[in-house]
Chains A and B, each alone.
Chain A
């Protein structure tokens, strides 16, 4: 009775996961989709706790531990997710993803210990089961180590790091892992226990080295990829326990996550291979670019001059970037939009698909400030609009408006579609300093004839502009 009840619960949960994911891919239903999937998850968790029976029909025990862990974990997760600032959400997602990966690896670890103790030696365990345990261990560990590195990179704790021949070392580590697993599976040596820990260690190492050389600007793609890894790791648990809910959820995320990763790369006009192997923002190119740039001078503009320019232009286009998110200036930019529109200036926003730290980052940010949706213009349309614009205001964006992506084949971001702001009559770049963008490369836009710089924190600059326009 309990078991068939659990089967139905898992069935419902699987449907909510599929439905939730489907609804998440359309703006109108996304929020409801998330809630539906969450509901299915709670159902599946409670169902497992109360109705699960093992092969001998025994119920689970250690309820105190289970509920204790659930309370601690979900409490901490809830608080972290509630308190986190808008700008830090991507790195938190990465961290949560890492926790899921670690969870899958721990399950494999415990199951392996259990099997090798209860069976005495491993020869009695079927190869398929062992392989699944290893799969969960390896993929879970890679996802955990990689996600933690990605988290550190996004919040600036970890700097990009690569050395010559690193890809070979990565390859050797991976080959070693495959070899060890094959060796254990085939010959079932006495020392399997120790070798198991060697596999665990090497997998963690691989995750670390895998993400380490990838530039911070590419972290969204990496997180999405690791996200699908964790999905596969979770599914391996589903294999192990013949659990359809875990299997459905895990594989679904594994497949959807892989596609999402590819879609994200496409939005940047790059291939996954290029993102993972092409060391971005490293050494030589950035150094020469900076040296060349240092010799040239930039033109500055004051807030009051800019206010006049803005007020007497017909069309103003705002290009938001990560700097806007950091300064939390989304409400102030909306305020500027309001005062300008009141004076008959048309204000629109050109949104680059990868502006900010995550695709869609800017849309979310501006939506928070109640900027109407039709005012946000996509890349292609924006480039037509930019040529007509009187003033383009670049707010804390850098790499997405870099002309080098179009005309400098030596640039690491060559080929990436960018917002062609330099076609406008006047470009004003609001920036805190002359520092390079996230990709670590110099931006020739700053030295362009029609570009003027306005140094300062985006929020403060915008506030000044609002006051100046009002005073006109």
Chain B
């Protein structure tokens, strides 16, 4: 376990910094933007699709279970990413109309 921490210390530092950055970066959000912000953050955690792509791309072509599950993971991840960004954009579209007025 200690070895593991030693080997991953770079990553652990990133985690620590990102925790503080994540809190800092949205600290002053007005309540009007809570929903679009949540939706945007929802789209960003769609990065999980990278993991799905790697898993899919590494699967042996005769391991049907891995292929099938990986395929499903890629579909779900893509849904999260594409749907998330598009729905956020639609929410924000309405703010823009107001601005132009």
Contacts and interface: CB of A to CB of B under 8 A. Distances in A.
6 contacts: A13-B47, A65-B56, A76-B79, A241-B54, A256-B23, A364-B94
B34 A264 contact: yes
A38 B76 contact: no
A364 B91 contact: yes
A155 to B, nearest CB: 15
A127 interface: yes
Nearest to A144: B76
Most buried by A among B25, B31, B35: B35
Interface in B23-82: 23, 25-59, 61, 65-67, 69-82
Given A106-B73, A126-B4, A237 B38 contact: no
Nearest to A41: B81
Contact of B49 (A25, A33, A103, A367): A103
Nearest to B22: A255
A258 B19 CA distance: 10
A459 B5 CA distance: 61
Question: Interface residues of A: mostly helix, strand, loop or mixed?
Answer: helix
A69 B75 contact: yes
Contacts of A37: 40, 43-44, 85
The 9 closest A-B pairs by CB, nearest first: A73-B78, A60-B57, A255-B22, A77-B83, A69-B74, A128-B4, A237-B51, A74-B82, A81-B86
A131 to B, nearest CB: 9
Contacts of A25: 25-30, 33, 37
Contacts of A235: 15
Given A44-B47, A49-B57, A104-B51, A97 B80 contact: yes
B43 A41 contact: yes
Contacts of A364: 32, 35-36, 91, 94-95
A211 interface: no
Contacts of A365: 94
Contact of B82 (A68, A77, A368): A77
A230 B90 contact: no
Given A38-B43, A69-B75, A99-B80, A24 B37 contact: yes
Interface of A: 13, 17-18, 20-22, 24-28, 30-31, 33-35, 37-38, 41, 44-45, 48-49, 52, 54, 59-63, 65-66, 68-78, 80-82, 84, 89-90, 92-93, 96-97, 99-100, 102-104, 106-107, 109-111, 113-114, 126-129, 220, 223-224, 227-228, 230-231, 233-235, 237-260, 263-264, 267, 353, 358-361, 363-365, 367-368, 370-373
Contacts, number: 399
B14 to A, nearest CB: 6
A95 to B, nearest CB: 8
A409 B49 CA distance: 48
Using C-beta atoms within 8 Å of the partner chain, give the interface range for chain B: 35 or more
Question: Interface residues of B: mostly helix, strand, loop or mixed?
Answer: helix
A34 B85 contact: yes
A45 B81 CA distance: 10
B11 A247 contact: yes
B94 A106 contact: no
Contacts of B52: 69, 103, 106-107
A69 B56 contact: yes
Interface of B: 1, 3-5, 8, 11, 14-15, 18-23, 25-59, 61, 65-67, 69-99, 101
A359 B35 contact: yes
A252 B85 contact: no
A246 B79 contact: no
Contacts of B48: 100, 103-104, 107, 230, 233-234, 237, 246, 250
Contacts of B80: 73, 77, 96-97, 99-100, 103
A52 B57 contact: yes
Contacts of B5: 128
Contacts of B35: 89-90, 93, 220, 358-361, 364
Contacts of A61: 57, 61
Contact of A256 (B26, B49, B76, B87): B26
Contact of A27 (B33, B44, B50, B84): B33
Contact of A263 (B1, B29, B44): B29
A92 B50 CA distance: 22
Contacts of B57: 49, 52, 59-63, 66
A41 B29 contact: no
Given A89-B90, A250-B45, A253-B41, A96 B83 contact: yes
A246 B93 CA distance: 28
Contacts of B4: 126-129
A30 to B, nearest CB: 5
B31 A267 contact: yes
Contacts of B23: 255-256, 258-259
Given A97-B80, A372-B98, 4 more contacts: A73-B79, A78-B83, A259-B22, A358-B35
Most buried by B among A17, A82, A361: A17
A89 B97 CA distance: 18
A96 B21 CA distance: 24
B59 to A, nearest CB: 6
B14 A253 contact: no
Contacts of A367: 94-95, 97-98
